[in-house]
Every structure is written in C-alpha cells, then in structure tokens.
Chain A
Amino acid sequence: MSYLSLEINKEGSNVSLNFFGEFTIYQVNSYQSQIDKINLNAINELSINFLELNYLDSAASIFIHNLSMQLKKQKIKVDLICANKDILDILSLVENYKKKTTYIPTIKTFNIIEKIGKNTLDNFFGFLSFMAFLGKLFINKIKYLSNIKNIRYKEIFFEINESGIKAFWIISLTSFLIGVVVAYQSSFQLKIYGANIFIVDMLGISILRELAPLITAIVIAGRSGSAFTAQIGSMKITQELDAMKTMGFDPYIFLVLPRIIALMIVMPILIFIADIMGIMGGMLVANLDLGITSELFLDRFNETIAVKHFFIGIIKGPFFAFLIASIGIYRGLKVKDDTQSIGLNTTKSVVESIFAVIVCDAIFSIAFINLGI
C-alpha cells in the first residue's frame, strides 16, 4: 500500500505542501486542519507538490482549487508542481466546471410570523375544502337516494362486515375493561361512605350516556377511519380513482357513500354492544369488590336508570359515524402523489376524527342539558 501523508516544509516565507500517495475524500478533512495551522500571513509563496502523488479524486481537487483561489486572493503566489497527466486533467476539469457552476439558490426561509400566517391561511383553506367536500357529499347523497336502484347494497354490506362485525371483539373487550376500571376506581370511593349501591347509578349513567359511545367512536376512528384514508389514498396513488372516473363510475357513489352509510348503520349497534359489555364489567367488580349480587345490581339498574340515557348514547352513534367516515374519506381523497402523503393523512384522519367526535360529544352534552334531557 502506498503511504498517504501531507508534509509541510517551511523555509522562511516559502511553504511547500508535499502530498504523498493518494489524496481522496477521506483525507480532505485532516489535511485541511494541517494546513490551517500554517500562519498564512507570514508567507508569500506556496508550492503544492504533487510529484509523489499518484491519485487525486474530485473532492480533493475541489479542495486544492478552493485553496489556491483563497491564497491568490491573499496575494500569495501558488506554484503547482505536477508531472502526472491524470491529475492535471482532473484539476482542469474541476477548474472548468467551477467557473460554470452557479450557486444552488437557497430556499427562502420564513420567519415565525410568516409561518403562523401561512399555516393559518392553509388551515383556513383546508377547512373550506372540507366544507366543499361536505357540500359535494350532500348533493351526491340526494342524487344517490333519489333512486332506490342506485343503492349499492353489496358495498354497504361489505363495509358493515369490515368495520362493524369484525370490530365486535375489540369493542367488547375495550368496553368491558373500561367498565371494570371505572367500577373499581369508584367502588373504592363509595366504600368510604358506605354508599355501595350507588355504583349502579354511577355506572349506568356514565357508561350508557358517555363512555360507551366515546370508546366505540375512538376504536372505530382508529380502526375504520384510518383504513378508509389508506384505502382511498392508495387508490388515488395507483390512479384507480382516475380510472373509475373515466369509466363513469362516480367515486362518491361507489366508494364514499357506501362507507359512510355502512358506518352510520353499524355504529349504534356497536354502541349497544359496548353498553352491555361495559355494564357487565361493572357488575363483575360490584359483585367481587362491593358484594352486590347481580340480581340486586339489575334490580337497582331497572329502578334508577331511565331509558333516555340509553337512547342518548345510541343517538350519538350515527353522528359520530358520519364524522369519522367523512373525515377518513376526505383525508384519503387529499392524498397526493407521494408515499409520505398516505402516512401523514392517515395520522391526520385519526387525530381529526377523534377530535371532531369529542367536540360533537360536548355539543350534545350542552344541548341535552339545556333541553333538560
């Protein structure tokens, strides 16, 4: 192997850089620091000796080029001693292209106020485009429902199976556990006051009215909302949506409405299941921890929990379902022609639909309380 090094000889005001072996991209940094140590102010002539050098790569030649340009600026005479034709060629190549290259323009960066303004405007337009989507959806819904023949039962049942029936176990399990947790936490407090039996009132109202619809909506948003975005987004990337349009199949009728309708049908049913499982979880804890038998629990439940609480929970279902499905699909249609976009829009779809569900739930709470229900 050839021996690589840089020797710096200083004789008065003359400095010579003697390169040995190869000078490549891996040596640039260490040679740079060696050269930096020379006090350039004290010299007026510098010679670069390539006689012992057998290979120079393009990074190193750019380095040599920049070095000699810098020295020339400081009025230091640069001598290049070189007999190797290959090295001279590569140096002159760099010199020629350096003359031609223009700087890559740096992208204009925005300051924080500009960024805030830009984001606000983007979000505003995003909101407008979501409204445009809802408008289009509404028109299509009218067109769709005006003719009974248009209804695509096959797609609707397929989606009911995909996002409803297949979600049965996960929703059962989550709501059962939520029932257990809530009952366990509150039983500890209730025991202090000896108010054991009130666990029934507490669980009944909180699970039927709030917890079951919310938990179901959150699971469905994570499960089906994200799936809708990814499915429709990838169909957009593979031009399947374009193909549908050119064949005269309106994506709204074939893809969008069946999903929304299926989810709106299936959501109340899932909430009902979540109600049952949540109460069962609570009942188990009440039995084990507070000694309330299931007969007693159900008797008390029958007495104190009005049926309106159940219906309030169920009625939220279609609204939540509409929000989740329409946001999921809207995000899918927003996917652009790059792979990053699917991930980004799926994340956004889940976050936005959970947010929208919670906002919707808050509106329901206020409305129901003001209505005295």
Chain B
Amino acid sequence: MMKTLIEVRDIITIFDKKIVHDGLSLSINKGEIYGLLGPSGCGKTTLLREMVMLQNFDSGSINIMGHELDNIKHSEAQKLRQNWGVLFQSGALFSPLSIAENIALPLIEYTDLSQVMIKEIVEYKISIVGLKPEDAHLFPSQISGGMKKKAALARSLSMDPQLLFLDEPTSGLDPISAREFDSLILKLRKLLNLTIVIVSHDLQSIYDTLDRVAVIDNKKIVYEGSLDNIKSINSEFIQTFFAGKF
C-alpha cells in the first residue's frame, strides 16, 4: 500500500485573466520520483511554486504531508518548510555566503547544534553530493553551473528532508554532468528514502530517473502514470516529445 504524500486537487490558477491551470489533480506517493512534464509555458514551474507556497492558487486544494496549504498556520508552514528541500533552476545559493556557510545556514537557524557538529554535517552533505571538501570555502560566484547545482542540492538536503523539489535540475548542464546528476538523484533516493518531485525537459533524465509522471498540456493533466504506456496517449506534446524513443 503506497502512502500519498502530496495530493493536488482541481487547481485553478489565473494570471491577469490568462488561465494557467484549469482544474489540475494529481497525487504523489511516498518514495517515488515524480516528474512534471509539459511544453514550455504550460505552468509546470508555477505548479511547483504553488506546492512550495511561493505562489497562491485561485481555487482547489494542495495537501502536503497531511497539511492543507490553503490557510495553513504560520507555525505549521514553518514545520513543513523544514521538512522539504527545494532546488531552484539557477541554484539560488546565497551569494554573500560560501558553499559551506550556505549548507550550514538552516542548521544554524533551526537547531542548537554545536559548531563542531555543524561542521561535520556540512562535510557529510558536501561529500554525499559529490563535491570536493576543498570547494567548501568557495563562493557561489566562483564555481561552475554544475557545482552550483550540487551545492544547492546539498543545502536543500541539510535538514534531512523527506521531500525534495527540483526545478529543471539538469538544464544548463553538459550531458556528462547531467547524467552524473541523474545518478546522484537515484543514489540519494536510495540512501535517504526521499520523495522527489522534478520539473524537467531533459528526455534522457526523464527516462533514467522518473517513476511516474504527470503531463500538463492545455491547462490540464493529459496523462498521469508510469512512462511505459505514455505513447498511447493522444496529445500533440506527448507524441512529438516522446517520438524519438521506443
């Protein structure tokens, strides 16, 4: 029996009279790697932002780990935020802080751990994402795009979250780094028992990592399920996007 971790129901989002989502529903189970796919501008990132409470939706409901995001209490929201990690497309590392300080920040703010303990946790997170220990004191402006993503991933993992949101994790990476990142995600899922929600355009990464996907097209979900029988769906986006494979 799979436990549902995220339940999205009948989400409607309207930007300045332009309808972005017209009744989206999907559910994400514990322990799976779930992909949000769709053509550019279909509102995948918007849906992700709504899930992490960066943006409001106009109607419908989102339930994450038993919390309704609509009129959630401040203290519950804070608790939820410590239970998830978000990786932004550009990394969004805090530019005045070094990589180590970025990773340590949530630990310093939310826990009463000693400096020594925090240092050890930071070292562990740095090695788990495959960064070198000597990179720890570099600043975000001094490192490459791939390293930024790894560092941001380490930061989002610093509080040992159960849930990870990744916004186009492989975009802007060269194919080798992208594949490395994919295997890193698979490894982390196994190690930390994570549930991961990914917005992606990268076909290879979609086939390599995702368990289940939701395809958003024309403001609606046109498909939700595993990749195996996706080709049978009559949607222009799915037919062109998955045309090359299988």
Chain A residues close to B by CB (< 8 Å): 235, 238-240, 242-249
- What CA separation (Å) do A242 and B95 show in the bound complex? 14
- Collect the chain A residues with CB atoms within 8 Å of residue B94's CB: 240, 243-244
- Collect the chain B residues with CB atoms within 8 Å of residue A238's CB: 90, 92, 95
**A51 CB to closest chain B CB, in angstroms?**
45
- What CA separation (Å) do A244 and B81 show in the bound complex? 10
**Contact status B82-A246, CB under 8 Å:** no
Q: Which of B54, B78, B106 has a CB less than 8 Å from the CB of A242?
A: B54
B215 at the binding interface (Cβ < 8 Å): no
Q: Which of B49, B54, B82, B165 has a CB less than 8 Å from the CB of A248?
A: B82
- What CA separation (Å) do A243 and B155 show in the bound complex? 10
- What CA separation (Å) do A308 and B77 show in the bound complex? 50
Q: Which of B53, B84, B93, B110 has a CB less than 8 Å from the CB of A245?
A: B53
**Contact status A239-B52, CB under 8 Å:** no
B236 at the binding interface (Cβ < 8 Å): no
| The 5 nearest A-B residue pairs measured at CB | A248-B81, A243-B92, A239-B92, A246-B86, A239-B88
For B207-229 the 0/1 string (1 means CB < 8 A from A) is 00000000000000000000000
**Contact status B90-A239, CB under 8 Å:** yes
Secondary structure of the B contact surface, majority rule: mixed
B46 at the binding interface (Cβ < 8 Å): no
**A76 CB to closest chain B CB, in angstroms?**
46
**Contact status A248-B78, CB under 8 Å:** yes
**Contact status A239-B89, CB under 8 Å:** yes
| Interface range for B | 20 to 34
- What CA separation (Å) do A40 and B20 show in the bound complex? 55
- What CA separation (Å) do A239 and B52 show in the bound complex? 14
- Collect the chain A residues with CB atoms within 8 Å of residue B53's CB: 245-246
B109 at the binding interface (Cβ < 8 Å): yes
- Collect the chain B residues with CB atoms within 8 Å of residue A239's CB: 88-90, 92
- Collect the chain B residues with CB atoms within 8 Å of residue A245's CB: 53-54
**A19 CB to closest chain B CB, in angstroms?**
43
Known: A246-B52, A247-B81, A247-B106. A240 touches B86 (CB 8 A): no
- Collect the chain B residues with CB atoms within 8 Å of residue A244's CB: 94
- Collect the chain A residues with CB atoms within 8 Å of residue B109's CB: 249
- Collect the chain A residues with CB atoms within 8 Å of residue B90's CB: 238-239
**Contact status B95-A246, CB under 8 Å:** no
- What CA separation (Å) do A238 and B102 show in the bound complex? 15
- What CA separation (Å) do A128 and B222 show in the bound complex? 40
**B33 CB to closest chain A CB, in angstroms?**
19
Within 8 A of A (CB), among B72-119: 77-78, 81-82, 84, 86, 88-90, 92-95, 105-106, 109-110
Q: Which of B54, B89, B105 has a CB less than 8 Å from the CB of A246?
A: B54
**Contact status B86-A243, CB under 8 Å:** yes
**B158 CB to closest chain A CB, in angstroms?**
9
- What CA separation (Å) do A240 and B89 show in the bound complex? 11
- What CA separation (Å) do A238 and B81 show in the bound complex? 20
- What CA separation (Å) do A240 and B90 show in the bound complex? 9
- Collect the chain B residues with CB atoms within 8 Å of residue A243's CB: 86, 88, 92-94, 152
- What CA separation (Å) do A80 and B200 show in the bound complex? 53
**B230 CB to closest chain A CB, in angstroms?**
30
- Collect the chain A residues with CB atoms within 8 Å of residue B81's CB: 246-248
- What CA separation (Å) do A239 and B49 show in the bound complex? 12
**B227 CB to closest chain A CB, in angstroms?**
28
- Collect the chain A residues with CB atoms within 8 Å of residue B110's CB: 248
**A335 CB to closest chain B CB, in angstroms?**
15
**Contact status B78-A240, CB under 8 Å:** no
**Contact status A240-B92, CB under 8 Å:** yes
**A155 CB to closest chain B CB, in angstroms?**
11
**A365 CB to closest chain B CB, in angstroms?**
40
- Collect the chain A residues with CB atoms within 8 Å of residue B106's CB: 247
Chain A, residue nearest B49 (CB): A242
**Contact status A242-B92, CB under 8 Å:** yes
- Collect the chain A residues with CB atoms within 8 Å of residue B78's CB: 248
- In the assembled complex, 11 residue pairs joining A and B whose CB atoms fall closer than 8 Å, in A order, are A238-B95, A239-B90, A242-B49, A242-B88, A243-B93, A245-B54, A246-B81, A246-B86, A246-B165, A247-B86, A248-B81
